[in-house]
């Protein structure tokens, strides 16, 4: 949206100082339209999006925390796409900033689980049936995040076929290089022995763990100097992998706490499905390489 459409008028430092002096240190209380804060953040819109299906007060926590997680998924995807773009342009140093931000966003995402630690099976059962087949499994933005991290499964875009815009965006993400694919291309351009077949594979499939890529990281980590940007890249990626793994683990524990081993609302095996999903590690060679470092 253009600035003209927001209702926000830029204010420079001199005008801010003059306004503060005129207000004698008090905040401005009169505005011609809605407050500039609401025009920018759209808080009044955000607070209309919590439409519960039951009168159980606990459902509000479940719904709002789910929405908070959706926002964090989108924010993390935004940062990872920027990092991917910069790595594609060989800007390793510049890519570290969005990667570090992404790790912090994942940390915030993980903290959101704490707001659901009160939920027992009895608490969840008061509104669970009203959710029908609704499930976090159906989060398109979470799928975007998985695809960006290299966890690609083509069949998982099928639930979105009746939502053309969402489906097309997921199909594009499925066929685009993941962040890890861009890292592998970067290493190959820097002269590391990344297997050609790994770079030429169908991008809709995940990259299989490679001993050659593992050896690339062992070689990179030998140089512990501050100017080794590839080593710093490895550490930034490791932090993202660890934070994402923590989120999946906390999802598993929250599911066990709220419903035990019951089938998931979306038709999955619930806990069993999540346990299988956790077996797929993000950036696996960064972890396996540590044995030989």
Q: What is the pTM of this model?
A: 0.90
Which residues have a Cβ under 8 Å from the Cβ of 206 and sit 6 or more positions away?
Answer: 150, 151, 152, 153, 280
Cα separation, 274 vs 153, whole angstroms: 15
* Residue in 53, 79, 55 with CA at minimum distance from that of residue 66: 53
Contact 170, 147 (CB under 8 A): yes
pLDDT of residue 26: 84
Contact 183, 150 (CB under 8 A): no
What tens-digit pLDDT sequence spans the chain (293 residues)?
445 566 688 888 888 888 888 888 888 778 877 788 888 899 999 999 999 999 999 999 999 999 999 999 999 999 999 999 999 999 999 999 999 999 999 999 999 999 999 999 999 999 998 988 777 778 999 999 999 999 999 999 999 999 999 999 999 999 999 999 999 999 999 999 999 999 999 999 988 999 999 999 999 999 999 899 999 999 999 999 999 999 999 988 888 888 787 765 655 556 776 777 767 889 999 999 999 99
């Amino acid at each position: 949206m253009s600035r003209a459409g927001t209702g926000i008028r830029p204010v420079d430092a001199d005008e801010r100082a003059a306004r503060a002096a005129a207000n004698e240190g008090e905040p401005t209380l009169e505005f011609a339209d809605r407050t500039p804060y609401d025009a920018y953040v759209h808080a009044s819109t955000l607070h209309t999006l919590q439409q519960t299906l039951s009168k159980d007060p606990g459902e509000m926590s479940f719904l709002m925390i789910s929405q908070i997680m959706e926002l964090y998924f989108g924010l993390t995807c935004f940062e990872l796409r920027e990092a991917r773009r910069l790595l594609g342009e060989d800007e390793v140093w510049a890519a570290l900033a969005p990667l570090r931000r992404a790790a912090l966003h994942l940390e915030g995402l993980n903290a959101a689980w704490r707001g659901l630690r009160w939920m027992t099976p009895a608490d969840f059962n008061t509104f669970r049936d009203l959710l029908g087949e609704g499930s976090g499994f159906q989060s398109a933005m979470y799928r975007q995040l998985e695809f960006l991290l290299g966890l690609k499964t083509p069949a998982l875009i099928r639930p979105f076929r009746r939502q053309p815009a969402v489906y097309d965006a997921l199909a594009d993400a499925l066929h685009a290089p993941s962040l890890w694919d861009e890292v592998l291309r970067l290493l190959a351009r820097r002269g590391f022995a990344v297997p050609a077949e790994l770079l030429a594979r169908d991008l809709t499939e995940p990259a299989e763990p490679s001993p050659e890529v593992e050896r690339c990281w062992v070689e990179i980590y030998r140089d512990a100097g501050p100017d080794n940007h590839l080593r710093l890249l490895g550490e930034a990626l490791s932090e993202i992998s660890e934070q994402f793994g923590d989120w999946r683990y906390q999802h598993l524990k929250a599911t066990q706490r709220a419903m035990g081993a019951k089938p998931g609302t979306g038709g999955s095996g619930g806990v069993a499905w999540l346990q299988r999903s956790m077996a797929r590690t993000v950036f696996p060679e960064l972890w396996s390489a540590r044995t030989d470092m």
